[in-house]
């Protein structure tokens, strides 16, 4: 008998592929492209971390670890969170080592969402949030921040969309794609509304190490928020370890216990050799992180100033490695701008609308490229704009 039906679930059929991919595929098929598209460090993982991984292999540490991750690593993570962000989690039952922050997000959402539950997603946002909410059976509720406020969530915006079905709010500071950082006072205002409506917060702090201008505030460090926060962090960005696929979840015991069940059945554990590498990163990696951060800050200053000089108005992003300039002065859509810039001047950027409706009129440029490449990109963008 011939196959007559689609075997796909309705949820998966409805998911759109990430808009970032289309531009990467186009850029990859061209020669001489300067890519400001990718969201990852341009540094190789520091040698000490790679060496620790090699050593672990030499010693034959190639089997599974505990489901939640090596206890030795969880202890290091616990010390690190206290030292760096003044938040305290018990390594025994409040920390789970995951396959990147990506899996941490997936596990978190699947642990809390009942069918039809609503999860507020603050846009422009990392492209995975809304699809992950849908895959967990929930309904993503976008909230659009505005360039007028440097894309900072205004607390009253939460109130405007809260319903009896609202379960959680996902926040991300420093933000991808805008680089915006929320300070302690702004987080406290959000916390007030969160408590009022009895919401849970998933705080994606994957860029916490890359905060350039002020002391970083972790959301669970805000008064009374620890009990209603799932903290997500990892090694990809700050430690330049994207390919190692290592992140972690910190959450109160009841939530962590539930999440561990999912992690146990779906993943067993995070990669063992990456876990040994991560122990070294936390013990001795602070100087390397500082060195990379200093370099990003220098590139940020050059790049954002240059964009503004070109007439592409851009707020100074406090963290991550993204600039999010407005291209509204060109009267093009984000997609038109990005496509023409790529085809005519071979500079790859990501159209802002792929991160949510409020990203329309903006482009995301990653400045995790060499200063020479950034200078050349600016020259090409200048030529492009002068021709318009
Ligand atoms: C905001 C945000 N969260 C999570 C991730 C995923 O990180 P990981 O590589 O640890 O899975 C990314 C990666 O780009 C990101 O930008």
- Comma-separated ranges of CATH 3.40.640.10 domains in the chain: 47-285
**Hey, what long-range contacts does 216-219 have (CB within 8 A, 24 or more apart)?**
216/84, 216/85, 216/181, 216/319, 217/85, 217/182, 217/183, 217/184, 217/187, 218/81, 218/85, 218/86, 218/87, 219/171, 219/173, 219/187, 219/191
Query: 364 is written with which tokens?
Result: 């995301």
pLDDT of residue 33: 96
275 touches ligand 1 (CB under 6 Å) = no
The domain made up of 47-285 has a fold known as: 3.40.640
Please tell me the distance between residue 101's alpha carbon and the centre of ligand 1 in angstroms.
6
Please tell me the distance between residue 1's alpha carbon and the centre of ligand 1 in angstroms.
44
| CATH of region 10-45+287-387, choose from 3.90.1150.10, 3.40.1170.60, 3.30.390.30, 2.60.120.10 | 3.90.1150.10
Please tell me the distance between residue 127's alpha carbon and the centre of ligand 1 in angstroms.
9
39 touches ligand 1 (CB under 6 Å) = yes
Please tell me the distance between residue 82's alpha carbon and the centre of ligand 1 in angstroms.
22
Taking only the tens place, the pLDDT of each residue in 113-158 is 999 999 999 999 999 999 999 999 999 999 999 999 999 999 999 9
Compute the distance between CA of residue 293 and CA of residue 290 in angstroms, rounded to an integer: 5
- Comma-separated ranges of CATH 3.90.1150.10 domains in the chain: 10-45+287-387
pLDDT of residue 1: 82
108 touches ligand 1 (CB under 6 Å) = no
| 172 — pLDDT class (breaks 50, 70, 90) | very high
pLDDT of residue 50: 98
Taking only the tens place, the pLDDT of each residue in 229-246 is 999 999 999 999 999 999
**Whole-model pTM over 0.95:** yes
pLDDT of residue 351: 96
DSSP string, 272-325: HHHHHHHHHHHHH-HHHHHHHHHHHHHHHHHHHHHHHHTT-------BTTEE--
Q: Which atom of ligand 1 is nearest to the CA of 320?
A: 16
> Does the pLDDT value for residue 112 go beyond 90?
yes
Neighbours of 344 (CB within 10 A): 12
Of 45, 96, 100, the one to substitute when testing ligand 1's pocket (max ligand atoms within 8 A of C-beta) is 100
Q: Which atom of ligand 1 is nearest to the CA of 105?
A: 4
Of 37, 98, 101, the one to substitute when testing ligand 1's pocket (max ligand atoms within 8 A of C-beta) is 101
Would you call 269 helix, strand, or coil by DSSP? coil
| 4 — pLDDT class (breaks 50, 70, 90) | confident
């Amino acid at each position: 008998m011939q196959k007559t039906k689609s075997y796909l679930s309705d949820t998966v059929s409805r998911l759109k592929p990430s808009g970032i991919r289309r531009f990467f595929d186009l850029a990859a098929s061209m020669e001489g492209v300067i890519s400001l598209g990718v969201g990852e460090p341009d540094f190789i993982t520091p040698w000490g971390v790679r060496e620790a991984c090699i050593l672990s292999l030499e010693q034959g540490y190639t089997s599974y670890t505990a489901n939640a991750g090596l206890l030795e690593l969880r202890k290091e993570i616990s010390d690190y969170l206290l030292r760096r962000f003044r938040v305290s989690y018990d390594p025994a039952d409040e920390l789970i080592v995951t396959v990147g922050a990506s899996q941490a997000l997936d596990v978190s959402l699947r642990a809390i969402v009942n069918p039809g539950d609503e999860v507020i997603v603050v846009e422009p946002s990392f492209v995975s949030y809304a699809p992950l909410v849908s895959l967990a059976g929930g309904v993503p509720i976008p909230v659009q921040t505005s360039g007028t406020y440097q894309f900072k969530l205004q607390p009253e915006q939460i109130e405007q969309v809260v319903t009896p079905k609202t379960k959680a709010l996902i926040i991300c500071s420093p933000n991808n794609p805008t680089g915006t950082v929320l300070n302690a006072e702004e987080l406290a205002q959000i916390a007030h509304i969160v408590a009022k409506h009895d919401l849970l917060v998933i705080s994606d702090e994957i860029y916490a190490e890359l905060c350039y201008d002020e002391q970083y505030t972790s959301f669970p460090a805000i008064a009374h928020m620890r009990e209603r926060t799932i903290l997500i962090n990892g090694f990809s960005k700050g430690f330049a370890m994207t390919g190692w696929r290592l992140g972690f979840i910190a959450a109160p015991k009841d939530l962590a216990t539930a999440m561990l069940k999912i992690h146990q059945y779906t993943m067993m554990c995070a990669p063992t050799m990456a876990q040994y590498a991560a122990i070294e990163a936390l013990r001795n990696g602070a100087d390397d992180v500082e060195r990379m951060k200093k370099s990003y800050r220098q590139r940020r200053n050059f790049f954002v100033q240059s964009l503004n000089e070109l007439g592409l108005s851009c707020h100074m992003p406090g963290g991550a490695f993204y600039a999010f300039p407005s291209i509204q002065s060109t009267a093009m859509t984000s997609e038109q701008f990005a496509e023409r810039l790529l085809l005519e001047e071979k500079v790859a950027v990501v159209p802002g609308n792929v991160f949510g409706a409020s990203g329309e009129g903006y482009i995301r440029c990653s400045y995790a490229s060499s200063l020479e490449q950034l200078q050349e990109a600016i020259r090409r963008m200048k030529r492009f704009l002068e021709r318009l």
